[in-house]
């Protein structure tokens, strides 16, 4: 049975952070650009590990096996990229709030706000300030 938990209450108040939406599925950007995609999403540790693994592979694998192994690794990175982002956000204190099934990001946001209207207030404040 999976365990759930919340981080301990901080000693001083922490400013509210905006909610983030992560799309599940294959990340073509991670597949095509590898470490650059990881760095763009602030996955520093994962990028360092990825580069280390690639260098290790280049040093240890026989010449003909390097390219297929790198392509397989890029495929695995593309398949696991969003999970790596979710884990990194969890290390930064974010918690999973909801899972939403939708065709695109706009529909997902609409369904999320219909289910949890309290999340709409932080989104509405910047819009109201922009209109004023």
Residues 24-53 as b or e (16 or more Cβ within 10 Å = b): eeebeebbebbbebbeebebeebbeebeee
First-to-last alpha carbon distance for the chain, in angstroms, is: 50
pLDDT given for residue 46 in this prediction: 94
Q: What is the pLDDT of residue 9?
A: 52
pLDDT at 123: 66
Distance CA 129, CA 22 (A): 26
The pLDDT averaged over each successive group of 10 residues in the chain (132 residues) is 46 61 90 95 94 91 88 95 92 84 86 81 66 66
What are the boundaries of each domain within the chain?
28-120
What proportions of the chain, in percent to the nearest 5, are helix, strand and coil? Answer: 65, 0, 35
pTM to 2 decimal places: 0.71
Please, are residues 49 and 59 in contact by the beta-carbon 8 Å criterion? no
Place of tokens 């650059």: 36
Tens of pLDDT, residues 26-46? 999 999 999 999 999 999 999
């Amino acid at each position: 049975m999976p365990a759930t938990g919340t981080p301990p209450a901080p000693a001083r108040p922490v400013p509210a952070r905006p909610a983030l939406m992560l799309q599940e599925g294959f990340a073509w950007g991670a597949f095509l650009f590898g470490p650059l995609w990881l760095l763009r999403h602030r996955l520093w540790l994962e990028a360092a590990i990825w580069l280390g693994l690639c260098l290790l592979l280049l040093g240890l694998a026989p010449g003909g096996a390097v390219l297929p192994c790198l392509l397989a690794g890029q495929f695995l990175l593309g398949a696991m990229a969003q999970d790596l982002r979710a884990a990194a956000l969890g290390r930064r204190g974010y918690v999973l709030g909801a899972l939403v099934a939708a065709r695109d990001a706009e529909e997902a946001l609409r369904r999320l706000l219909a289910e949890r209207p309290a999340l709409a207030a932080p989104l509405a404040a910047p819009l109201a300030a922009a209109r004023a």
